[in-house]
Amino acid sequence: MSIAEDGPNKLPNMSLSIIILAAGQGKRMHSDLPKVLQPLAGKPMLGYVIAAAQALVPEAIYVVYGHGGDVVKAAFSSMPLTWVLQAEQLGTGHAVQQVAPLIPDEHQVLILYGDVPLIREATLRRLVGSATEQTLNLLSVDLPDASGYGRVLRDKAGSVYRIVEQKDANRKELAVSEANTGLMVAPARALKRWVAGLSSANAQHEYYLTDIIGMAAKDGFKVEALKAPTATEVLGVNDKVQLASLEAENRLMRARELMLAGATVLDPTRLDVRGAVTVGRDVVIDVNVVFEGTVVLGDRVRIGAGCVLKDSSIASDTVLNPYSVLDSVEVGMHCILGPFARLRPGSRVLNNAHVGNFVELKNTTLGAGSKANHLTYLGDTVVGERVNVGAGTITCNYDGVNKWPTEIHDDAFIGSGSMLVAPVTIGKNAVIGAGSTITKSAAAHALTLTRAKQQTIADWKPPVKASESEKAERIKGSRKNP
Distance, CA of 240 to CA of 45 (rounded, Å): 13
Please tell me the chain's helix, strand, coil percentages from 3-state DSSP, rounded to the nearest 5: 20, 30, 45
Residue 62 binding ligand UD1, by CB under 6 A: no
Distance, CA of 126 to CA of 200 (rounded, Å): 32
Q: Dihedrals φ, ψ of 264, to 5°?
A: -90, 115
Of 209 and 283, which CB lies nearer to Mg ion in the complex structure?
Answer: 209
Which does residue 47 bind out of Mg ion, ligand UD1, none, counting CB within 5 to 8 angstroms by kind?
none
Of 236 and 275, which CB lies nearer to Mg ion in the complex structure?
Answer: 236
User: Residue type at 52?
Assistant: A
Residue 89 binding ligand UD1, by CB under 6 A: yes
Distances (CA, A) of 360 to 323, 326, 373, 386, 405: 13, 10, 10, 18, 16
Bridge partners, residue 310, by sequence:
292, 327
Tell me the window of 82-90, 343-351, 453-461, 472-480 that interacts with ligand UD1 (CB under 6 A): 82-90
Residue 150 binding Mg ion, by CB under 5 A: no
* Chosen residue from 61, 115, 314, 367 binding ligand UD1 by CB under 6 A: 115
Annotation says 205 is catalytic? no
DSSP classification of residue 442:
B
Q: Where are the beta strands (DSSP E) in 252-369?
A: 264-265, 271-273, 276-279, 284-285, 289-292, 294-297, 302-303, 308-310, 313-314, 319-320, 325-327, 329-331, 336-337, 341-343, 347-349, 354-362, 365-366
Site for Mg ion in 214-253 (CB under 5 A): 236, 238
Residue 91 binding ligand UD1, by CB under 6 A: yes
Smallest separation, CB 102 to ligand UD1 (Å): 15
Of 208 and 291, which CB lies nearer to ligand UD1 in the complex structure?
Answer: 208
In this structure, the strands spanning 381-383 and 406-408 are parallel
Tell me the window of 53-61, 131-139, 180-188, 393-401 that interacts with ligand UD1 (CB under 6 A): 180-188
* Chosen residue from 15, 238, 242, 288 binding ligand UD1 by CB under 6 A: 238
Distances (CA, A) of 469 to 228, 463, 475: 86, 16, 10
Cβ 58 vs Cβ 131: under 8 Å: no
In angstroms, what is the C-alpha Rg of the chain?
32
Task: Return the residue nearest Mg ion (CB atom).
Answer: 236
Distance, CA of 389 to CA of 438 (rounded, Å): 14
Distance, CA of 381 to CA of 448 (rounded, Å): 19
Residue 221 binding ligand UD1, by CB under 6 A: no
Task: Return the residue nearest ligand UD1 (CB atom).
Answer: 150
Tell me the window of 113-121, 216-224, 260-268, 334-342 that interacts with ligand UD1 (CB under 6 A): 113-121
Residue 44 binding ligand UD1, by CB under 6 A: no
* Chosen residue from 18, 95, 243, 430 binding ligand UD1 by CB under 6 A: 95
| 276 Cβ contact list (under 8 Å, min separation 6) | 293, 294, 295
Smallest separation, CB 18 to ligand UD1 (Å): 14
Residue 290 binding ligand UD1, by CB under 6 A: no
Query: Residue 417's closest CA among 387, 445, 396?
Result: 396
Of 109 and 331, which CB lies nearer to ligand UD1 in the complex structure?
Answer: 109
Which does residue 362 bind out of ligand UD1, Mg ion, none, counting CB within 5 to 8 angstroms by kind?
none
Site for ligand UD1 in 124-163 (CB under 6 A): 149-150, 163
Q: Where are the alpha helices (DSSP H) in 130-196?
A: 171-174, 188-196
Residue 391 binding ligand UD1, by CB under 6 A: no
Residue 98 binding ligand UD1, by CB under 6 A: no
Residue 113 binding ligand UD1, by CB under 6 A: yes
Residue 392 binding ligand UD1, by CB under 6 A: no
The catalytic residue among 354, 374, 409, 445 is 374
Of 238 and 328, which CB lies nearer to Mg ion in the complex structure?
Answer: 238
Of 135 and 210, which CB lies nearer to Mg ion in the complex structure?
Answer: 210
- Helix, strand counts (H, E) of the chain: 9, 39
Query: Residue 94's closest CA among 186, 172, 4, 209?
Result: 209
Query: Residue 138's closest CA among 95, 84, 97, 178?
Result: 178
| 15 Cβ contact list (under 8 Å, min separation 6) | 58, 59, 104, 106, 107, 108
Of 210 and 436, which CB lies nearer to ligand UD1 in the complex structure?
Answer: 210
Of 150 and 369, which CB lies nearer to ligand UD1 in the complex structure?
Answer: 150
Q: Residues interacting with Mg ion, by CB under 5 A?
A: 115, 236, 238
Catalytic annotation, residues:
374
Give the residues lining the site for ligand UD1 (CB under 6 A).
Answer: 21-24, 64, 86, 89-92, 94-95, 113-116, 149-150, 163, 165, 179-182, 208-210, 236, 238
